[in-house]
Amino acid sequence: MISTLRDPKALRRRLRDWSRDPNMIVYGVLLVGAILFPPIASFATGTNTLTGLAADAGVWVLLAIGLNVVVGFAGLLDLGYAAFFAIGAYTYALLASTQLGSSPLHHAVHLPFWFLLFLAMFVAASAGALLGAPTLRLRGDYLAIVTLGFGEIVPRIFRNDPGHFTGGINAIGNIDQPTLPVCVDGPWSRGDDLHLNFGLANCSFSITDPTAYYVLMVLLIIACVILVSNLQVSRLGRAWAAVREDEVAAAAMGVNTRNIKLLAFAIGAAFSGFGGAYYGAKLSLVSPDNFDFTVSITVLVMVVLGGMGNIAGVIVGALAVYFLEFKFLTDLPRNTHALVDAIGLGPLLDNSNPATGWPGIEDFVGRLNFLVLGLILVLMMLLRPQGILPSRVRAQELKAEGAQDDTVFDQRAGQT
Amino acid sequence: MALLELHGVDAFYGRVQALHGVTLEVDKGEIVALIGSNGAGKTTTLRTISGLMHPAKGQVIFDGQDITFTDAAKIVQLGICQSPEGRRLFARMSVLDNLLMGAYSRSDRANIARDLKHVYELFPRVEERRSQIAGTLSGGEQQMLAMGRALMARPKVVMLDEPSLGLAPILVETIFAVIKEINDEGTPVLLVEQNASKALSVAHRAYVLETGVVAKEGTGRELLESEDVQKAYLGM
């Protein structure tokens, strides 16, 4: 890797590895899918609701990429990841709405979205470093418990609203919509909206339009993937992996383990802050209820299910879990109703008989939603414990375990 | 003054004292062996030198500089590198990444590439396996990788903890041949071994540790011929 750029042979080898890397195929498919999705979805349904949903899914992809740095690269179990998401969202909500006008400050602040996107990232990263500094000497379970506590505390602070800044349970609404930065503003935009009509009738790009959010999100994700992929193979990425594998040995190699872990925490939090600001802007509403424990767990599930440590896998995992939770399971009661109706099991639909107490199939399935989700997740982990797209290392390890069984024994033999 | 010196080092694990006034030195160009039975304090001595633990009393001096309480990371930069007991490879990283981790505290890219080549010359098997992940190597290959990783730091002193542990006799020969080769190139080696006869036959000087105390010291040959040592450690 070191002499790659100077040595043509090494460069060729790297290019060859690159083209054989199955992740490249996944990235390619994802990119093509991302480009084709909006026109197909709007053609099929006539609206761009699906595109909006996909843009929301992008937020989760960002979160999963960020948590993957903490959990997958550095091996630190973080159960309070939603806290940084909340911090990012509230940073945007407070500084781009009338909220601070009714706070003790008495001055509404309206900073531009593009600036706040990076400010939110920075604030969340600082919060990550602040939390990490005293807690990262803890390991494994203990770190998980502390982060769990942090994840509960932060949304609660926003909810309890000390000092009347955050609006508490009333949430912050009416948050500013992003406008285009001056540099890309021009004759093609009308006021705040960007209208590009690529010769297609039903395809107008406007920044208040879900499609614009979608495009923005895809660009953000591409930037983040490039950034994180480079981090992974850098000296820092190697140090993370070393700390994950064996902290003492890493220290013996000269790694400052505390700083390295802190950096993982801060960088992971930064992505969360990034996602938070975007989320606040798109929803135009930031409420403390959006950041509870289930958010942290869902992101963790995305990372583990997708293939911890492998960025492409984590993206696929995030999309799969998002689809499961927010599309498949949300539509399941209605679809079951339709199905039962179609095959002529009419009595199952009846919820009007108080004697039986039967709530009707639609309601019944609705109540079982989380059971179904749990079952699907358990099944997937049983069938594919390494994740949908495992990291290269994990794949090789599993292959080797099958081929020669003495390796594990050998490795432990010397440890007395 | 020797390159590396320990003066009257006391070290504790909690309230249990593991080292009692250990004094030893390693000079330029030497192979120094540290032998003793289980729990004698050999590994503790290495951990004290490499800064993974700090002594309660006494001094560690390297290259004229007091490093008794210096951080492990800083000590690596100063030029002491350890191949730890049980190898402690990064099992789920590739062989190449393990070697590059050895050079973690260095920034001289061109020299790192050269040292990588050198390690591959010393251990051709390691080069064959460079893109494999370390956990899937055989025991002997893992030991070679651990030593290679230590060398990648381009250390002024290299400390090897039980390099022959759990290896087939033929591999033990290879490992000791490489230890001599490393030393011939000018790197002093502090060698901790249970295989006392092998260690004493390559070492210029050696120390015998017994329950945290230096019980005996001398040249490798002297100790090899000493009756006490033969009885206690060589099984004669």
pLDDT tens per residue, range A339-356: 888 887 777 776 677 777
Sign of CA dihedral A248, A249, A255, A261: negative
**pLDDT at residue B194 in the model:** 85
Higher pLDDT, B18 or A359: B18
**pLDDT at residue A42 in the model:** 82
Compute the count of residue pairs across chains A and B with CB atoms less than 8 Å apart. Answer: 123
The mean pLDDT of chain A is: 81
- The amino acid that residue A48 corresponds to is N
- The amino acid that residue B73 corresponds to is A
Cα separation values, B62 from B5, B76, B118, Å: 6, 12, 26
- Averaged pLDDT for residues A358-379: 83
- The amino acid that residue A412 corresponds to is R
What is d(CA A85, CA B190) in angstroms, rounded to the nearest whole number? 51
Q: Strand B189-193 and strand B16-26: pairing?
A: unpaired
What is d(CA A151, CA A138) in angstroms, rounded to the nearest whole number? 17
**pLDDT at residue A202 in the model:** 38
- pLDDT value at B18 more than 70: yes
pLDDT band of residue A395 (cuts 50, 70, 90) is: low
Six token digits for residue A333: 């009661």
pLDDT band of residue B49 (cuts 50, 70, 90) is: very high
**pLDDT at residue A6 in the model:** 62
Q: Please work out, in degrees rounded to the nearest 5, the angle formed at the alpha carbon of residue B51 by the alpha carbons of B49 and B54.
A: 90
Residues of chain B numbered 154-183 and touching chain A (CB < 8 Å):
162, 165-166
pLDDT tens per residue, range A260-293: 999 999 999 999 999 999 999 888 889 998 898 9
pLDDT band of residue A364 (cuts 50, 70, 90) is: confident
Please name the residue of chain A whose CA is at the shortest distance from the CA of residue B46. A252
**pLDDT at residue A171 in the model:** 84
**Cβ(B8)–Cβ(B156) below 8 Å:** no
Question: Closest Cα of chain A to B21: distance in Å?
Answer: 24
Burial environment of residue A109 by CB neighbours within 10 A (0 to 12, 13 to 18, 19 or more): middle
- Helix (H) / strand (E) element for B161: namely strand B157-161
pLDDT band of residue A401 (cuts 50, 70, 90) is: low
Question: Closest Cα of chain B to A62: distance in Å?
Answer: 26
pLDDT band of residue A107 (cuts 50, 70, 90) is: confident
Q: Which residues are paired to B132 by β-bridges?
A: none
Rg (Cα) of chain B, in Å, rounded? 17
User: What b/e readout covers A180-198, taking b as 16+ CB neighbours within 10 angstroms?
Assistant: beeeeeeeebeeebbeeee
Most confident option among A315-319, A369-373, A399-403: A315-319
pLDDT band of residue A110 (cuts 50, 70, 90) is: confident
**Cβ(A54)–Cβ(A37) below 8 Å:** yes
DSSP secondary structure code for residue A183 in this structure: G
**Cβ(A299)–Cβ(A64) below 8 Å:** yes
Residues of chain A numbered 393-412 and touching chain B (CB < 8 Å):
393-394, 396-397, 400, 404, 406-408, 410-411
Asked which of A74-88, A380-394, B26-40, B118-132 is least confident by mean pLDDT, the reply is A380-394
Question: Closest Cα of chain A to B94: distance in Å?
Answer: 8
pLDDT band of residue A200 (cuts 50, 70, 90) is: very low
**pLDDT at residue A210 in the model:** 80
**Cβ(B3)–Cβ(B157) below 8 Å:** yes
Contacts of A369 (CB under 8 A, 6+ apart): A329, A332, A333
Please name the residue of chain B whose CA is at the shortest distance from the CA of residue A309. B92
Q: Which of B44, B94, B133 would you mutate first to test chain A, the one with the most A CBs within 10 A?
A: B133
**A3 in reach of chain B (CB within 8 A):** yes
SS3 B59: strand
What is d(CA A138, CA A263) in angstroms, rounded to the nearest whole number? 16
Domains of chain A: 22-401 (1.10.3470)
What percentage of chain A has pLDDT greater than the value 90? Answer: 35
pLDDT tens per residue, range B66-109: 999 998 888 988 999 888 878 889 988 999 999 999 999 888 88
Residue with tokens 């098997």: B125
pLDDT tens per residue, range A159-184: 988 777 888 888 888 888 877 654 44
pLDDT band of residue B1 (cuts 50, 70, 90) is: confident
The mean pLDDT of chain B is: 90
What percentage of chain A has pLDDT greater than the value 70? Answer: 83
Residue B72 has its nearest CB partner, among A1, A251, A416, at A251
- pLDDT value at B219 more than 60: yes
The packing angle between helices A210-232 and A49-68, to 10°, is 20
Contacts of A397 in chain B (CB under 8 A): 92, 133, 135-136
What percentage of chain B has pLDDT greater than the value 90? Answer: 49
- pLDDT value at A198 more than 60: no
What is d(CA A239, CA A254) in angstroms, rounded to the nearest whole number? 10
pLDDT tens per residue, range A244-265: 998 888 888 888 888 999 999 9
Residue with tokens 């390099």: B163
Burial environment of residue A85 by CB neighbours within 10 A (0 to 12, 13 to 18, 19 or more): buried
Asked which of A194-203, A268-277, B5-14, B158-167 is least confident by mean pLDDT, the reply is A194-203
- Interface confidence (ipTM) of the complex: 0.80
- Helix (H) / strand (E) element for B174: namely helix B169-184
- Helix (H) / strand (E) element for A136: namely none
Half-sphere exposure of A142 (CA within 13 A, CB side): 7
pLDDT tens per residue, range B146-199: 999 988 988 899 999 988 888 888 889 889 999 999 999 889 999 998 888 889
